[in-house]
Homo-oligomer: A and B are copies of this chain.
Amino acid sequence: MARISPAPQRFERRVPGIDYAVLDGLVGYALRRAQIAIYEDFESALGPLAVTPQRFSALVVIAGNPGITQGTLGRVLGIARSGVVLVVHGLQEQGWVTREAHGQDARTWLLKLTPEGSVLLTAARRRVRAHDARIGRRLSPAERAQLIALLDRLGPDA
Residue of B nearest to A39 (CB): B28
Within the oligomer, what is the number of copies of this chain?
2
**Cβ A134 vs Cβ B151 within 8 A:** no
Classify the secondary structure of A's interface with B. helix
Q: Give the contacting residue for A57; candidates B23, B30, B150; CB below 8 A.
A: B23
**Cβ B129 vs Cβ A27 within 8 A:** no
Q: Give the contacting residue for A27; candidates B11, B61, B132; CB below 8 A.
A: B132
Given A19-B65, A21-B61, A137-B156, list of 16 further CB < 8 A pairs? A15-B75, A15-B76, A20-B64, A21-B60, A23-B57, A26-B128, A27-B136, A30-B147, A31-B35, A31-B38, A32-B35, A33-B151, A135-B154, A139-B150, A139-B153, A147-B151
A residues with a Cβ closer than 8 A to B are: 9, 11-13, 15, 18-23, 25-38, 41-42, 53, 57, 60-61, 63-65, 68, 72, 75-76, 78, 80, 125, 128-129, 131-132, 134-139, 143-144, 146-148, 150-156, 158
